[in-house]
Structure 1
Amino acid sequence: MTARSPLSHPPRISCVICAYNEAPRIGRVLAVAAAHPLFAEVIVVDDGSTDGTAEIVERFKPVQLIRCGENRGKSAAMAAGIAAAQGELIMLLDADLKGLNAEYISALARPVLQGSAQVSLSLRQNSLLAFRAIGLDFVSGERVVKKTLLGEVLQEVHGLPRFGVEVFMNRRIIERRLPIAVSHWPNVTQARKTEKLGYWKGLRAEWRMIADLLKVAYPLALISQTFQLLCLRVDHGPRARFSARIRKAPDNSQ
């Protein structure tokens, strides 16, 4: 399936993008998402931005903009976007992606549309090295899930820490034993907070985000969650190749 050749009569996909002060970056994401044929709608939740993010979004006429009066964090913004979505499938995209194109979106949707998986996650070029080594980024912001996964518990999502929604979502995926596919995005990166805010402010923001993850699950639980997600993968190719490379490594002990 190519970006211009969707499956016949695919389920409706709603694309939800949460954004806070992403005016320099969100336009390039919307240029791809707003034109993609798989999307029945594209919804941007502006989480109280102060930099003109909403004005950039308004340039893309098909895009639905939800303005939040104050910055409450990604969890609450995502809950607002999912509540407004009409599709039975949700594709979540971060607003600060670089290198995104239509085929990456198609590749992320394909396993769920074809029925080989019920959840699809991206693995970006600048995901942490450990995530790329095992073949799964457990905090990936680019996902395809059924709306019901979070739509049934929106009150809980609203009450999560600002950046706890991915870990909460993972827990529900594991509880339901949902098959997972990983879509490799080798040329896509996400802008780091140090790039957006400067080194020290960005570093503090990164630590606050990690603290939010730990409010939802303890460190050992996060490690366990990662391996449980790996066990749910239905496309083991990249991980198997990585394991094979380890097994074939030369033995220099003699």
Structure 2
Amino acid sequence: MTVANASSRNEHAPRISCIVCAYDEAPRIAAVLKVAAAHPMLAELIVVDDGSTDNTAEVVRQFPSVRLIERATNGGKSLAIADGIAAAQCEFLMLLDADLKGLSPDNLSALAAPVLSGRAEVSMSLRQNSLLIFRALGIDFVSGERVVRKTLLETVLADIQRLPRFGIEVFMNRRIIERRLRIAVIHWPHVTQARKTEKLGYWQGVRAEWRMITDLLKAIYPLALISQTLRLLSLRITEGRAPFAARMSRASTTPR
């Protein structure tokens, strides 16, 4: 093999560790793993089972290529992500939620491409059922699907371990803003995330959603949240479909 051929092959070699954190996701996680485990851009797939009380771990074991980390007790998403980062071997991290529906290989390719090509330092998904205000703005500041360099997070694992249970996305946002990293927002028009009311039933799901919101507010005050969202927007690059608000504006000015 010539040096040139070796260099070209290395450029296209998988350099992404994919981390999926799960708590009681046995009915849903297989759909995500079927896509991620077979994707050629992912060098490794790590699932952190955050103390599940169902058979999530047994479902994961059906995928021999997946590395399973089992936490003895449920510590929350921030701790689970920290465990996944500590185990990851690659230059880039892809973070995926375990309860996605409609996920395709093209979605993962689109999420990875801007970061691997250098057009952006961070990519985030914008799902079909993201909140309307997020779709209107063109960014979901708590998106659980991201690609980042491992160096953004591996040096601050102790800080991540001290976060509230659901503080990891806000924490990442702060580091992105501090470093003024370019963000690519990738629209996933056919992908949704299972709501807690769907998983747990209406009232139990509402309580779980409220606990998550309360936990989020421990990580960032409401006014700071607005400021953070606007600052993230200022770092967004043009990538894929135009933001919802821009499309609506163009539609309103188009002659009929």
Is the structural similarity TM-score above 0.5?
yes
Q: TM (normalized to structure 2)?
A: 0.92
1:22 equivalent in alignment to 2:14: no
**CA apart distance, 1:235:** 1.2
2:50 corresponds to which letter in structure 1? D
Corresponding residue of 2:4: none
Taking the aligned partners of 1:14 and 1:235, their CA distance within structure 2 comes to 25
Corresponding residue of 1:3: none
Going from structure 1 to structure 2, the CA distance change for 1:53 and 1:228 (only over 3 Å counts) comes to same
Corresponding residue of 1:150: 153
Unaligned runs of 5+ residues in structure 1 are 1-5
Going from structure 1 to structure 2, the CA distance change for 1:59 and 1:237 (only over 3 Å counts) comes to closer
Q: 1:225-244 to 2 correspondence within 5 Å?
A: 225-235=228-238, 238-239=241-242, 242-243=245-246
Corresponding residue of 2:134: 131
What number of residue pairs does the alignment pair up? 245
Going from structure 1 to structure 2, the CA distance change for 1:11 and 1:40 (only over 3 Å counts) comes to closer
2:224 corresponds to which letter in structure 1? A
**CA apart distance, 1:150:** 1.1
Candidates 80, 86, 103, aligned match of 2:83 = 80
Corresponding residue of 1:176: 179
1:193-213: CA deviation from partner (whole Å, max 9, x where unpaired): 000011111101111111111
Candidates 74, 79, 82, aligned match of 1:71 = 74
1:108 equivalent in alignment to 2:107: no
Corresponding residue of 1:97: 100
2:150 corresponds to which letter in structure 1? K
1:169 corresponds to which letter in structure 2? M
Unaligned runs of 5+ residues in structure 2 are 1-8
Q: Which runs of 4+ in 1 moved over 4 A?
A: 236-241
Partner-residue secondary structure (3-state), 2:82 = helix
Q: Percent identity over the alignment?
A: 68
1:88-113: CA deviation from partner (whole Å, max 9, x where unpaired): 10000000000001000000000001
Corresponding residue of 2:164: 161
Taking the aligned partners of 2:232 and 2:244, their CA distance within structure 1 comes to 18
Partner-residue secondary structure (3-state), 2:236 = coil
Going from structure 1 to structure 2, the CA distance change for 1:185 and 1:247 (only over 3 Å counts) comes to closer
Candidates 205, 209, 215, aligned match of 1:206 = 209
Taking the aligned partners of 2:107 and 2:32, their CA distance within structure 1 comes to 12
Q: TM (normalized to structure 1)?
A: 0.92
Taking the aligned partners of 2:17 and 2:229, their CA distance within structure 1 comes to 26
Taking the aligned partners of 1:189 and 1:248, their CA distance within structure 2 comes to 25
Taking the aligned partners of 1:112 and 1:31, their CA distance within structure 2 comes to 23
Cα RMSD, aligned residues only: 1.7
Contact 1:111 1:181 in 2 (8 A): yes
Going from structure 1 to structure 2, the CA distance change for 1:240 and 1:167 (only over 3 Å counts) comes to closer
1:119 equivalent in alignment to 2:122: yes
1:118 corresponds to which letter in structure 2? E
1:40-95: CA deviation from partner (whole Å, max 9, x where unpaired): 10000000001000000000000000000000000000000000000110000000
**CA apart distance, 1:7:** 9.0
**CA apart distance, 1:242:** 2.8
